[in-house]
Amino acid sequence: MLKKEHFMRWRRRYIKLSCVEDPPTLQCYTEKDDTEPRMIMTITASSRVVSLSKKRDPANEYVTVVTGPSDQKWQLCAPSKEYVQAWRDKISAAISDVKRNSILKNIKILARAQHDPFLVGNTRYNLPEDKYAPIKVIGKGSYGSVISAFDKEREVKVAVKKMTDIFDDLFDARRVVREIRALRNLCHENIVTLLDLPMPPQPRDFRDVYIVTELVDQDLYSVIYHHQKLSTQHLQFIFYQLLCALQYIHSAGIIHRDIKPQNILISSTCRVKLCDFGLARCLYSSETDSKDSRLTQYIATRWYRAPEILLGCQKYGSAIDVWSLGCVLGEALQQDPLLPGTDCIMQVRLIADLVGVPRREDEVAFVENARARLFLNGLPYLAPRIGACFPSEDASIRCLLQQMLSFNPSRRIKVGEALSLGFFDSVRRPTSERRASHRLSWKAIDKQPLTKQNLQTLIYQEVGNFAKGRHKSLFRRCS
């Protein structure tokens, strides 16, 4: 191969990839029969290989290898693209092996240090030992905790969510059943993927539930507050993917009800994944379809809660997710919460101050509660001032934000309409704007008497159905 050396000149060299050593090395020889290499490069977990094209060089294709903290670089090229591609694949495979071995070594060191490989922090994870190796805690909440783990079968890191003692509160246990049902049936590139549901030991003898999903680098909260302000191009790409995710789940008859930056995962390549369906509920076609058509008012974090929920409306729809997404967009623009109310009354006042309050009778007809309507009428009239809050932003962003944060849910922009705006023209991908093939129904879950035994049976059935579906999918791929 040709290697770029001093004074940017290409020299003919003989390159050898040696995987006998640990870690593997790239060795450069001046002559084919030389016994000692001219240069050696060690392949580390931080190494990367990039294939580039430069027409002014002797060959049309060359591969650059960058390794280690010293940023050592080798530029290699060959007359054919196929030859370069073969080298790129070999070096990439060596880098992957080093990364995998590094993870396994760290896991063994951690296991020896704590004597119990499944004790992470102060929580024990009863996972199949031949399948998972826990690494570290990455999140905690009232529901339990989330850790990263190494999936030995797939050879990738995954996220494991443990929900502890879920039957202490039967309403929370029913939310777990709904979340599993949602993740099991939703399949979209912008929704976190369910990878595994470890089977409980016995149908009548378990208290904890584990949900294994793909591991994503960080959430939108950390991106907003730990990095520089997002550019217009980043906002287009991120919120386009979020709208695609909402269009998909709404077409499946589901509202998320807890859209906030912490529930929006984002990878290093800006791939967005919507997660945490614990508060999600089904939208039913008619009131008689379910006793649960009068949906719970206490949902979502207050700062992202839509006006119709704050004002005690008993029935609402997918427009609440659009409102929450508008609050997230405003937060991303100013790197500060858009509506940080300390209680429900203050939250309504902040909303009124930002978007104004409609005065015409037909515009507030959605507010059924007489006391809530009286409270609205007592607020001083204020004109919408979204534009004044973001004077330096692109006009199309202000327009989108204003339509998402319409006080009246019937006048709020629909997800499909938002996707069609010119603001997203440069990032649109028709394949991402697909709808669900069928609507989900949780009537069987909601109609079950709320007992521990019934909920344990439902969870055991969901886990069994997931295992059957995965087995069928594997059989089809093998066939």
Supply the residues annotated as catalytic. Answer: 258
If we measure between CA atoms, which residue out of 51, 110, 106, 58 comes closest to residue 82? 51
The whole-angstrom separation of Cα 130 and Cα 382 is 63
If we measure between CA atoms, which residue out of 94, 64, 63 comes closest to residue 81? 63
The whole-angstrom separation of Cα 303 and Cα 57 is 56
Structure-token pair, residue 8:
């940017």
Residue 341 three-state SS: coil
Residue 281 three-state SS: strand
Cβ atoms 347, 305 nearer than 8 A: yes
How far lies 380's CA from each of 52, 349, 356, 359, 370, in Å?
Answer: 62, 10, 9, 11, 18
Burial of 234 (0-12, 13-18, 19+ CB in 10 A): middle
Q: Reduced to 3 DSSP states, what percent helix, strand and coil does the chain have, rounded to the nearest 5?
A: 40, 20, 40
The secondary element (H helix, E strand) that includes residue 265 is strand 264-266
